[in-house]
Amino acid sequence: MIPDKSLTDVFVSILNGELESAEQQLQQLKPEATAEKRRHSHYQGLVLFHRGEVLAALQHLEFTRQYLGSNVMLLRDLMICQYHLQDMSGFRANLSHLESLIVEHKDKLSPTSRFECELMIGKALEEEARLLPALEFYERALLHTETSTQRIRGLLQKARWHALYEPNRHLSEFYRELISVSRKGLTQDSVIELEHSLMLIELRLIGADHAHQRLLQIPAVVAEIDQRLMYFDFIEGCITQDLTLSPAVLEKMNSFKKFDPFEEFIRKLVQGSLEAAAKIHQLSLLASQLPWASYLRLLCLAANMESSHASRLEINRKIQLIIRSLDPRSQGLWNLRLKQALQPPEIRLEFSSQRRSVLVQGRLIDLTKKKMGMQLVEGLAGKAELSVDEAIHLLWQTSFSPEHYHRLRMGVHRLNALINKITGLGKIIEVDSQLVRLRPEVKIRQADEAFSTEMVEL
């Protein structure tokens, strides 16, 4: 029987990049029980993965799973291999399976397995553009930490998520905690993730020069794949935030020996080597090779750097089409991020007082039982915003009261929810303590002809 500590030591050696040591330790161990053989074989696959032999690692892990059985950690690492090989269909199938297993067997998993899988599911959901569910998994992982090292690893993912998608006041709190973390006791993987998260926060809150200095401190022994991750996230962040890319960054970018599809597209964008037609063609090809978040990020960059207004609108329509299937909060976060590069296209609402209906993007929304919703649409057709007092008077012919303000907010929420259910659009109408207003890109007008009978009526 192999002592559990022996296999744990192997795992730590792998995460520290000490692959020869890990391989030697594995050769000395003689597993007997099936669970020991599975874990032993699993770690042999991880050695291959960390050497950059991703296809060989995938095949080895598949063999292990077939002949020695599966578990959540093995499934997690299979999913990682598929992600790196751009096998998106396999990646998504295993992600869905892993999500189900975590829920079904949550009380049977060891605390370590549960934490590791929740963290990885969060990363995978984030890559699939499901931003809110990803954040929820990071927060669940943080709730299940048992050591200070686990807390740091969970906080790293949450901080990086906020730096990329939703900067808020907590980001400075995360930064203050993370910048004081000692590198001693962290595995090489965790150190890289720490530097990556700090770089993104600095780029967001301080500036490009500060974040670039952190990139310059990356040890030469760090694998090129990890260096590329940090540099290309830095380049993307600079473009998105309209920050200047220094010649030193561009020189480093061109010094790398290979690029994955995401990085290659960014490199060509920066170099200006893609004409409009070639850019659209490349983006079409990349849809099947990249997870949705990476694909959306490239679409955003392409739109941001596109000089043709027509092409910008076309790319943005594609962005809106992709995010429409996401939950409302994730849609809102993507729209917030994508607005940094491009204002969304105009959204037109055509209403018919006679039919008590609204036509939005080819979808007919029945408001015959939504009197308040219909009145709001008609009121906002005349002007893009109403004061709260005006809106309350329009709906109830009375003056302001806390009760009527609450009813107004709930009415706006229900109308937005109905439109979202049918069209997938985020909030159409916004309300705060002062105003009820349309989103800037929303335009309402009265229909000047009967709605087509071919429209979908719900």
**Whose structure tokens read 């799973």?**
65
pLDDT of 456: 37
Query: CA–CA separation, 127 vs 85, rounded Å?
Result: 14
| Number of residues written out for the chain | 458
Q: How many CB atoms lie within 10 A of CB 155?
A: 20
Last residue of a domain, one of 203, 224, 250: 250
Q: Which residues pair with 347 in a beta bridge?
A: 442
Tell me the C-alpha distance between 239 and 268, whole Å.
13
- Total domains in the fold of the chain: 3
* Cβ neighbours of residue 123 closer than 8 Å, sequence gap 6 or more: 134, 157
Terminal C-alpha separation, the chain = 64
Q: Which of 227, 250, 273 is the last residue of a domain?
A: 250
Please classify residue 78 by burial: count the beta carbons closer than 10 Å to its beta carbon, then call 0-12 exposed, 13-18 middle and 19+ buried.
Answer: buried
Q: What is the pLDDT along the chain (458 residues), one digit of tens a residue?
A: 666 678 788 888 888 888 899 999 999 888 888 988 999 999 999 999 988 899 999 999 999 999 999 888 899 999 999 988 888 889 989 999 998 888 888 788 888 888 988 998 999 999 999 999 999 999 999 988 888 888 999 999 999 999 998 888 889 999 999 999 998 878 888 899 999 999 999 999 998 999 999 999 888 878 888 899 999 999 999 988 888 888 999 999 999 988 999 999 999 988 887 777 788 888 999 998 888 999 999 998 887 777 777 787 888 888 888 988 888 888 888 877 665 444 445 678 888 888 888 888 778 888 888 888 888 888 888 777 889 899 999 999 998 888 888 899 888 888 888 888 887 777 788 888 788 888 777 888 887 544 443 433 33
CATH number at residue 364: 1.10.10.10
- The DSSP symbol for 291 reads -
CATH code of the domain containing 97: 1.25.40.10
Distance, in Å, from the CA atom of 68 to the CA atom of 33, rounded to the nearest integer, reads: 10
- Cα–Cα distance between 125 and 310 in angstroms, integer? 32
Per DSSP (E only), the strands in 281-397 are 347-352, 357-360, 363-366, 385-387
Specify whether 99 is located in the same domain as 232.
Answer: yes
Q: Taking the CB of residue 18, how many other CB atoms lie within 10 A of it?
A: 17
Output the CA–CA distances (angstroms, integers) from residue 221 to 47, 84, 217, 225, in the order listed: 17, 21, 11, 11
| Phi, psi dihedral angles at 443 (to 5 degrees) | -125, 135
Query: Rounded to whole angstroms, how far apart are CA atoms 172 and 304?
Result: 28
Per DSSP, helices labelled H in 166-223 are: 170-179, 188-205, 208-216
Tell me how many helices (H) and strands (E) the chain has: 22, 8
Query: Residues 203, 76: one domain?
Result: yes
Between helix 261-271 and helix 247-255 the angle, nearest 10°, is: 140
**Quick check: 421 and 326 in contact, CB under 8 A?**
no
**Which residue range(s) make up the domain with 305?**
259-342
Q: Is the domain of 23 the same as that of 67?
A: yes
Q: Cβ neighbours of residue 168 under 8 Å, at least 6 residues apart?
A: 162
Both 121 and 243 in a single domain?
Answer: yes
d(C-alpha 162, C-alpha 332), whole Å: 14
The DSSP H or E segment spanning 446 is strand 442-446
Determine how many CB atoms are found less than 10 A away from the CB of residue 89: 9
* Joined tokens for residue 312: 């910008």
Q: Which residue has the tokens 């808020």?
A: 168
Query: Is 114 in the same domain as 50?
Result: yes
Residues 6+ apart with CB under 8 A from 40: 2, 7, 26, 29, 31
Judgement on whether residues 30 and 131 belong to the same structural domain of the protein:
yes
**Burial zone of 438 (CB within 10 Å; 0-12 exposed, 13-18 middle, 19+ buried):** buried
Report the alpha-carbon distance of residue 291 to residue 288 in Å, rounded: 8
Q: Of all helices (H) and strands (E), which one includes residue 77?
A: helix 72-84
Residue 229 is predicted with a pLDDT of 92
In this prediction, residue 450 carries a pLDDT of 43
327 shares its domain with 387: no
* Locus of tokens 């074989």: 41
Claim to verify: residue 113 and residue 130 sit in the same structural domain:
yes
For residues 299 and 400, membership in a common domain is answered with no
> Residue 236 gets which letter from DSSP?
H
**329 and 448 assigned to the same domain:** no
**Pair (52, 166) in one structural domain:** yes
Out of 250, 272, 295, a domain closes at 250
Claim to verify: residue 240 and residue 383 sit in the same structural domain:
no
